[in-house]
Structure 1
Amino acid sequence: MKYRPLGSTGLQVSVLGFGGSSLGSVFRQVTLDDAIATVRAALEGGMNFIDTSPSYGQTLAELRLGWALEGVPRDSYILATKIGSYSEPRGDYDFSAASTERSIEHSMIRLGIDHIDLIQCHDIEFADHDQIVNETLPTLQKLKEQGIVRHIGITGLPLKIFPSILDRVAPGTVETILSFCHYELNDTSLGDMIPYLQKKGVGVINASPTGMGLLTQRGVPAWHPSTPAIQEGCRKAMEHCRAKGVDIVQLALQFACDNEAIASTLVGSANPDNIRANIAYLEQPFDRDLLAEVMEILGPIHNFNFTRGLPQHRDPILG
């Protein structure tokens, strides 16, 4: 496993990080034993960066992660969780100071820890950015000064939300961003923002390198927000890889982790065998000829996207 610096935080994170949403039975029912075995497989494979949220499974992911980490030396992993988003289906978002402090306290209890390495404002496309700048971030900064949280980040789907905050706060206030579905084989739009983020000293975390199922043999779930054109283009790319005897997930992970400017790419599963397979993919030769062929297939839908959030925070739609 390779490790990279996470922006200016001083943290060295695994290029492949563990995304904890699956631990909350978000995609299918999983057992506690499966959850514990998966986390242990990730740690044994060198994945030292773990990301979760109280919104995953209505706190179940944090609870299970806490149980899985019992007895694991605290300095052997870097733990990130979030505040602000508590139930996307219910539209339960609260970025107030009181909710932020309470959420962090409860997360630490569920996780069985006495500090959080990285606390992130979750899905800020659903937030009032004035509140984020004037209330949420100052609250987190106060908790950072107290040693309760070590570093502060923001997350979300639309790319425009990141400069909306970063351009309004002092350098070092926001130390990381977590973006998903924007650095993968079919959509590399996050890459265009990386020079800006580097200038700000902000670490980059990439999630959903398979586009929430777009770049898999199984394909997307029924709820997926992508268009038929995106889904068809990705299906063609998957079939091309399969014809060459390669699982497109391998190519997708190798591609995402190949970018030195991205500190960590998150993958999620509640199956320990899947996590071991993902780790093993990074040890295989990177077939750049196949990558070129796949990129050509995906060319007609390159950077076609989908967005969400409050109207003022949504990205322009391409495709």
Structure 2
Amino acid sequence: MPRHRLGRTPIEITRLGLGSAPLGGLFSPVSDADAAATVARAWDLGIRYFDTAPLYGFGLAEQRLGAFLRTQPRDSFVLSTKVGRLLRRTTAGEPPPDPAYKGTPPERPVFDFSYDGVMRSVDESLARLGLERIDILFIHDPDDHYDAAIGGAVRALDRLRRDGTVRAIGAGMNQHGMLARFAAEAPVDAFLLAGRYTLLDQSARAGLMATCAARGIGLVLGGVYNSGILANPHEGATFNYQRAAPALLARAQRLDGLCRAHGTALKAAAIRFALAHPAVSGIVLGARSAQEIDENVAMARMDVPDALWAEIQREGLVDPEAPVPGGGP
């Protein structure tokens, strides 16, 4: 599995990483056995970068990843997790704030971007993981909490980096505007950006991604299928977890048709496009079974001919300034 340096840090991640939200029961429950088989298969196929968060399954994803990773030499893999939500018990019968996760423990996430809250969050994540350190620590979705994050969480992350508990710090979000603010105002090493640089949405290219490239800030991309539409652009497909607009669906279907005409898969093209930008160190794809790991790796390795990219550019289906594999701009 190819590796790439994360910005100007000494960390190298595999170009394909495992995102663990599905292991936490995103949308449907996952058994301990299936979760263990998923992580083991990822390891067997060469994946050495793993991303998680307390939110994913309300601690379940961290526990399941840690159960496998702590049996491996610590320097043989790279792990990222996140801060901004503490897991706390709630009163009996209280519904979870995020019902998308199924089969979860009784704890529920509570926003806390304060200095003390972040320090507690890291201690609790390390306990769930069963590890002594974290490689990359991201502030998780501080959309409505920027002041608290910049005033509290960033200070905590900086201290944790200085004392060696973490090796790199940054933020992980579904929007690029606030990440650009962090780049300007905080001593960040890396970002995780979901859904804003894909075959359907290149809105982060001119601002955030140009900044990352210029300043050596590492960039990991998630959501390269835009929550499903670039995996299977059927009627009723979702874009950003909502039913896709007709024009967006038509564009995805045209991309799918071109991929088929060139003997490749839309998923493979989505992966290859995301990795073609020079600011991007790697991507994370979620999986809930060993079979999904097999498919993810197969898509990442599938041939995507240069002629496809030329046709995509000719039809104006992507930003003309976006780099494509094997070609310009």
- TM-score normalised per structure 2: 0.82
Q: For each residue in 1:171-214, what CA deviation from the matched residue of structure 2 results, as whole angstroms up to 9, or x when unmatched?
A: xx211011111221112222323221123221111111111111
Residue 59 of structure 1 aligns with which residue?
59
Asked if the contact 1:254–1:281 (Cα under 8 Å) also holds between the matched residues in 2, the reply is no
Q: CA deviation at 1:130?
A: 2.3
Residue 129 of structure 2 aligns with which residue?
111
Asked if the contact 1:236–1:297 (Cα under 8 Å) also holds between the matched residues in 2, the reply is no
Q: 1:13–1:88: structure 2 CA closer, same or farther, 3 Å change rule?
A: farther
Q: Distance in 2 between matches of 1:297 and 1:217?
A: 21
Residue 79 of structure 2 aligns with which residue?
79
Greater CA deviation, 69-78 or 192-201?
192-201
Match runs of 1:276-315 below 5 Å = 276-294=294-312, 299=317
Q: CA deviation at 1:100?
A: 0.8
Q: Distance in 2 between matches of 1:118 and 1:7?
A: 12
Q: CA deviation at 1:257?
A: 2.1
Residue 157 of structure 1 aligns with which residue?
174
Asked if the contact 2:218–2:280 (Cα under 8 Å) also holds between the matched residues in 1, the reply is yes
Q: For each residue in 1:18-38, what CA deviation from the matched residue of structure 2 results, as whole angstroms up to 9, or x when unmatched?
A: 111110011322111111111
Asked if the contact 1:85–1:123 (Cα under 8 Å) also holds between the matched residues in 2, the reply is no
2:292 is matched with which residue: 267, 274, 292?
A: 274
1:89 is matched with which residue: 98, 101, 106?
A: 98
Q: Which letter maps to 1:151?
A: A
Residue 246 of structure 1 aligns with which residue?
264
Matched, 1:148 2:165: yes
2:250 is matched with which residue: 232, 237, 243?
A: 232
Q: Distance in 2 between matches of 1:157 and 1:222?
A: 13
Secondary structure of the structure 2 residue equivalent to 1:150: strand
Q: Which letter maps to 1:227?
A: A
Asked if the contact 2:228–2:239 (Cα under 8 Å) also holds between the matched residues in 1, the reply is no
Q: CA deviation at 1:235?
A: 3.1
Q: Distance in 2 between matches of 1:191 and 1:288?
A: 21
Q: 1:112–1:296: structure 2 CA closer, same or farther, 3 Å change rule?
A: farther
Residue 204 of structure 2 aligns with which residue?
190
Q: Which letter maps to 2:274?
A: A
Residue 206 of structure 1 aligns with which residue?
221
Secondary structure of the structure 2 residue equivalent to 1:152: strand
Q: Which letter maps to 2:59?
A: T
Q: Distance in 2 between matches of 1:211 and 1:295?
A: 20
RMSD: 2.4
Secondary structure of the structure 1 residue equivalent to 2:143: helix
Q: Distance in 2 between matches of 1:298 and 1:83?
A: 39
Q: For each residue in 1:225-284, what CA deviation from the matched residue of structure 2 results, as whole angstroms up to 9, or x when unmatched?
A: 353432332134224434655331111112222333210111111121221222233333
Q: CA deviation at 1:88?
A: 6.3
Q: 1:154–1:279: structure 2 CA closer, same or farther, 3 Å change rule?
A: same
Secondary structure of the structure 2 residue equivalent to 1:29: coil
Q: Point out where structure 2 has 5 or more consecutive residues left out of the alignment.
A: 87-95, 100-108, 321-329
Residue 132 of structure 1 aligns with which residue?
149
Asked if the contact 2:6–2:219 (Cα under 8 Å) also holds between the matched residues in 1, the reply is yes
Asked if the contact 1:18–1:266 (Cα under 8 Å) also holds between the matched residues in 2, the reply is yes
- TM-score normalised per structure 1: 0.85
Q: Distance in 2 between matches of 1:150 and 1:78?
A: 10
Q: Distance in 1 between matches of 2:213 and 2:4?
A: 14
Residue 106 of structure 2 aligns with which residue?
none
Percent identity over the alignment is 29
Q: CA deviation at 1:10?
A: 0.7
Secondary structure of the structure 2 residue equivalent to 1:125: coil
Residue 230 of structure 2 aligns with which residue?
215
Q: Which letter maps to 1:118?
A: I
Greater CA deviation, 113-122 or 239-248?
239-248
Secondary structure of the structure 1 residue equivalent to 2:280: coil
Q: CA deviation at 1:97?
A: 1.6
Q: Point out where structure 1 has 5 or more consecutive residues left out of the alignment.
A: 304-319
Residue 178 of structure 1 aligns with which residue?
192
Q: Distance in 2 between matches of 1:272 and 1:12?
A: 24
Q: CA deviation at 1:68?
A: 2.5
Q: 1:110–1:295: structure 2 CA closer, same or farther, 3 Å change rule?
A: farther
Residue 307 of structure 1 aligns with which residue?
none
Q: Distance in 2 between matches of 1:240 and 1:70?
A: 44
Q: Which letter maps to 1:147?
A: G
Bigger RCO of structures 1 and 2 (CA < 8 A, at least 6 apart): 1
